[in-house]
């Protein structure tokens, strides 16, 4: 990358865009990332464990409220009506103490969620890197690696969580103009921290979150240049899949409606089938798309840190990960 390039903007595009060329690239990335998943099926275990953990934690957070004594059984609609009224009063309460308690509660949930996500991602990414190096995936090794970085994960989660809360609060306070300014700052933050999980895994000395962030940003700048303006992700594959599936869903419904009339048995059956097809396929493909995205990000990190093209990818895929805008100088 030429030294004459000047930094003028940092923006990230997490979807592949609307052009067929971009979609083809995204599909190729998805297909090659999928090959890493199929060859290392234990990677799916990390996702399953994380989902189970999230469900358990969510239940622990909401159960004190759900189990409040309202004088009615849980199966009684009156119980849920009273809980709904209590929730609405709590949300709309303008009292300073209530607002403080409400903010502390949601901030605590947010920070804990940040810590949990970082912890599981460290374990997950550790094994993705091993898989891309041709090693077998180990669930125990992944979580052992995360536990060995527990202090670093806590520090980063706290730092990133506070930054996220500040950006969110400023968005709310500064109006529409300030909202877009803070959105750009948030995008720049996301881009600078793109390699933060692998950096945490490989970091041996510093626990300073600013140094971790700098390492991630410098690695991006050093490998792909300063004026990064677009990220070739796998998002367009998911968007196209969603539209196709939605089209099939609507097509089945209206076809059955046209030949049997509203309320016909065939209409009801086709509606149920298409509904199940849509709402079962979407989460499954969403998980696959998310995993493919994580695997590709690890591949980009390995290319940036070691100069090695990992796994099933090509050097062209690594070099085209970002579109780089060159700035002419006189």
pLDDT given for residue 25 in this prediction: 74
7 domain residue, yes or no: no
Of residues 250, 291, 24, 313, the one with CA closest to residue 137: 291
Q: 321 to each of 203, 224, 233, how far by Cα in Å? A: 24, 8, 8
Number of domains in the chain: 1
10 domain residue, yes or no: no
Which residue segment(s) compose the domain that 42 sits in?
20-324
1 domain residue, yes or no: no
230 domain residue, yes or no: yes
Of residues 139, 141, 140, 149, the one with CA closest to residue 119: 149
pLDDT tens digits in sequence order for the chain, 330 residues long: 433 333 333 333 333 344 445 667 778 888 888 899 989 999 999 988 888 888 888 777 777 777 788 887 877 788 788 888 777 776 666 666 666 776 777 778 888 888 998 999 999 999 999 999 989 999 999 999 999 999 999 999 999 888 888 887 777 777 777 777 777 887 788 888 889 999 999 877 777 888 899 999 888 888 776 656 556 667 677 777 778 877 877 777 677 667 655 555 666 776 777 777 777 877 888 888 888 889 988 998 999 888 888 878 888 888 777 765 554 444
Task: Please state the separation of Cα 306 from the chain's center in Å.
Answer: 25
25 domain residue, yes or no: yes
pTM (whole model) above 0.85: no
- Residues 248/252/257/260 CA torsion (nearest 10 deg): 170
4 domain residue, yes or no: no
């Amino acid at each position: 990358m030429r030294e004459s390039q000047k930094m003028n903007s940092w923006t990230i595009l997490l979807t592949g865009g609307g052009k067929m060329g971009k979609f083809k690239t995204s599909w190729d990335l998805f297909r090659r990332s999928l090959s890493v998943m199929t060859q290392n099926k234990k990677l799916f275990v990390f996702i399953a464990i994380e989902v189970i953990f999230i469900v358990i934690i969510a239940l622990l957070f909401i159960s004190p409220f759900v189990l409040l004594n309202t004088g009615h059984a849980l199966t009684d609609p009156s119980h849920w009506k009273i809980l709904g009224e209590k929730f609405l009063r709590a949300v709309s309460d303008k009292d300073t103490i209530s607002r403080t308690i409400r903010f502390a509660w949601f901030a605590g949930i947010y920070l804990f969620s940040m810590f949990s996500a970082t912890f599981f991602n460290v374990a997950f990414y550790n094994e993705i890197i091993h898989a891309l190096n041709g090693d077998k995936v180990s669930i125990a090794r992944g979580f052992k690696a995360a536990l060995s970085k527990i202090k670093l994960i806590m520090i980063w989660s706290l730092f990133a969580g506070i930054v996220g809360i500040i950006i969110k609060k400023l968005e709310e306070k500064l109006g529409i103009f300030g909202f877009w300014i803070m959105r750009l700052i948030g995008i720049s933050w996301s881009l600078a921290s793109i390699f933060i999980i692998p950096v945490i895994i490989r970091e041996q000395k510093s626990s300073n979150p600013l140094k971790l962030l700098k390492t991630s940003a410098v690695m991006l700048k050093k490998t792909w240049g300063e004026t990064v303006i677009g990220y070739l992700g796998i998002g367009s594959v998911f968007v196209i899949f969603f539209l196709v599936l939605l089209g099939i869903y609507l097509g089945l419904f209206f076809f059955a409606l046209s030949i049997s009339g509203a309320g016909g048995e065939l209409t009801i059956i086709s509606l149920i089938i298409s509904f199940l097809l849509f709402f079962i396929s979407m989460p499954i493909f969403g998980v696959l798309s998310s995993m493919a995205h994580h695997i590709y990000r690890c591949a980009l990190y390995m290319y940036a840190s070691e100069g090695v093209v990992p796994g099933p990818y090509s050097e062209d895929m690594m070099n085209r990960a970002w579109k780089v805008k060159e700035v002419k100088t006189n």
